[in-house]
Amino acid sequence: MGEGDAVVNTVGTMSDKKNYQNKLFLAGHFVDASDGGTFEVTNPRDGSVITQVASATEDDVKKAFDAACAAQKKWAATSPRHRADILWRAYEELTARKDEIAELMTLELGRALPDSQSEATYGAEFFRWFAAEAERMQGDYRLAPTGNARIVEVQQPVGPVLAITPWNFPLAMGTRKLGPALAAGCTVVLKPASKTPLTMLLLAEVLRNAGLDEGVVSILPCSSSVLEPLYSDPRLRKLTFTGSTAVGKELAAKVPTARVSLELGGNAPFVVLSDADVATAVEATSVAKMRGAGQVCIAANRFIIHKDLHSQFVSAVTDSLKGTEYGPLSGDDQVDKVTELVDDAVKQGATVVWQDTVPSEGSWFPLTILDNVPTSARMYKEEIFGPVVAVYEAESDEAAIAMANDTNFGLAAYLFSADLQHALDAAERLEAGMVGVNKGGISDAAAPFGGVKDSGLGREGGFQGIEEFLECKLISLPAPAQQ
């Protein structure tokens, strides 16, 4: 194994347990699929089968959505305090079981255990945050500028929601959607990724333990095809999706009359300006790039380094990342994609500065540092989603900003400068929904998360997150009588 030996000792203890929840969570009850169908969930570290999980049918989806629609009016009429209490109790149980949850995520995702432990804490925070937001929803009351009417604005839940989550954050992508939806008074049918359904089914257990009303939430592992009837159902009022840009656009076109939130692909630039502190940038790389072995939508994708700092950065980041703890990719399909991107870059002139050694068994891709990557390489335009540091040299700060914006995506960006005014000026010019300045971490349950351009619509988290599940109703009243 060489310098990467630490990567193999992060599975935890869940691999010896067999009590995974593997049934559908349909309208408050764990049940088998109506046709008895199942699919395998495997461990990417060695390809071993963890368990068989029930695979929902169209009939199961219909039953779940019918239940959500039937429960919508009653759930919307519950008090904000009632909804807040349920989310708070769920937060407390997630916190109490965080080690168990982290081990389960590592088992089904293959991810390094420290990353899963961080997500267990981060994912729970969305329930804590939106438990409070449930009690903070506000409308407005004011006199029209003309003085001829009173304007009353009332916030009401948008209605039944279909949520689709990805595999790379098995817990947090669920809590980030369920938290605001439930706080707002919406019922939800959620489809978790087939690679990582076990964590979401554990979350269903947590919500049931917290006293969630029957019918309010269903969590249905299934193939995407069985959801098709829902898209044309006029009762569907909201679609929230996290995944690829291509799929997100396709889904949005299928639900033209429903509200849509899309958190899509990224191509995050990591920009080191001429006055940056290289040590700060190098330290931030481990979070911005290596969390989840690079399988993160906001992972740094293009390291754009000013020419005066280029050599120093490449040398320092190589020394820093050797021995980094990380896990395998989510499957052989992901390994094949990353391999293609790296081979293409090398063929076009990129230099392999360093490459780790990884186990031959399982879906591993070695941490790879590339220098002098040409802008003609596919990885300049495409999301890598793997442990690859691709370095580009910029002739000037202006050129670095231009390169950073040279993409159809705009989810996240990272910027490094020792001068605050310079950093703020540059950050405002970056075409991204989120910018980390002199740091590698951006996400926070209390902050809005989302992108611009082909990276999506809407925001999750923060004060804005609950607004995605609320409709603003105008009630116009007569003006006050003249005195």
- Residue 341 Cα distances to 222, 269, 344, 408, angstroms: 30, 17, 5, 18
Considering the candidates 93, 125, 263, 431, report the single residue annotated as catalytic. Answer: 263
Paired sense of beta strands 259-263 and 49-54, if any:
unpaired
- Compute the radius of gyration of the chain from its Cα atoms: 23
Alpha-carbon distance of 130 to 392, in angstroms, equals 40
Is 283 catalytic? The answer is no
SS (H, E, C) 97-158: CHHHHHHHHHHHHCCCHHHHHHHHHHHHHHHHHHHHHCCCCCCEEEECCCCCEEEEEEEEEC
Neighbours of 131 (CB within 10 A): 24
Q: Which secondary structure element, helix H or strand E, spans residue 287, and what is its range? A: helix 278-288
- Residue 202 Cα distances to 43, 93, 154, 218, 289, angstroms: 17, 11, 35, 12, 28
Tokens matching residue 442: 């951006």
Neighbour-count burial of 3, counting CB atoms closer than 10 A to its CB (0-12 exposed, 13-18 middle, 19+ buried):
middle
Paired sense of beta strands 259-263 and 456-457, if any:
antiparallel
Q: Which secondary structure element, helix H or strand E, spans residue 391, and what is its range? A: strand 388-394
Please say whether the beta carbons of 47 and 362 come within 8 A.
yes
Alpha-carbon distance of 450 to 195, in angstroms, equals 24
- Backbone CA torsion sign across 257, 263, 269, 273: positive
SS (H, E, C) 315-369: HHHHHHHCCCCCCCCCCHHHHHHHHHHHHHHHHCCCEEEEECCCCCCCCCCCCEE
Catalytic residues: 263
